[in-house]
A = this chain, B = another copy of it.
Amino acid sequence: MTPPNPELRNPRSHRAILDSTFELAVSKGYGKLTVEAIATAAGVGKQTIYRWWPSKGAIALDAINERMGHLTDFPDTGDIEADLRSQTTALAGLLSSDIGIVYRGVIAEAQSDPHLAANVRDAIVGPRSKLCRDRLERAVTAGQLRGDIPTRAMVQLLYGPLYYRFLLGTDDVQDAPELVGYILAGLRTHDS
């Protein structure tokens, strides 16, 4: 009936659930992750999980989100290519780590769970995308990048190939930063 009161939430259980979820997803594989196993591993009742999350994907999303780290500003050394390259390298490293294993599962589950998909966009993709666009915006203002391409599109040109490799497994994600140069070639102003 009434939604639970977040202030009365037990922080220990909360922590244990997120931690157990992450560890189990990594060790057993996301596909074999079950709410029951999470509850057992966290020493928690299943109801406590269902009280706060609608699906295991939602838990996993929370678990990886807090592990993806602080959204400090994008690096801004003035050199847009170097900045994008270092950022892309960081993201590629993330996707290749344990976090990537779980993230992959979350994205998979989101394919048939529109609500989860929206949460992924809001919590993970959106904010990081925003930071990237901000940096790109500055490069446009500085006359380094073309002003006639929406930064929204630029972000997709940059990250698209990364996710392509990540989700289709055609190539090693870690090598994706190599592609940055090719993309930038099309985004630069002629005199930069």
Contacts and interface: CB of A to CB of B under 8 A. Distances in A.
A134 interface: no
A165 B156 contact: yes
A18 B59 CA distance: 34
Interface hub of A111, A112, A153, A169 (most chain B Cβ within 10 A): A111
Interface residues of A, number: 43
A170 interface: yes
B105 A168 contact: no
Contacts of A171: 152, 156
Contacts of A32: 112
B163 A164 contact: yes
Interface in A161-177: 161-165, 167-171
Given A117-B169, A121-B168, A156-B179, 13 more contacts: A30-B111, A107-B111, A107-B168, A108-B109, A111-B167, A153-B161, A156-B164, A157-B161, A159-B160, A160-B160, A163-B163, A163-B167, A167-B167
Interface in A105-154: 105, 107-109, 111-113, 117, 120-121, 125, 129, 149, 152-154
Interface hub of A104, A107, A164 (most chain B Cβ within 10 A): A164
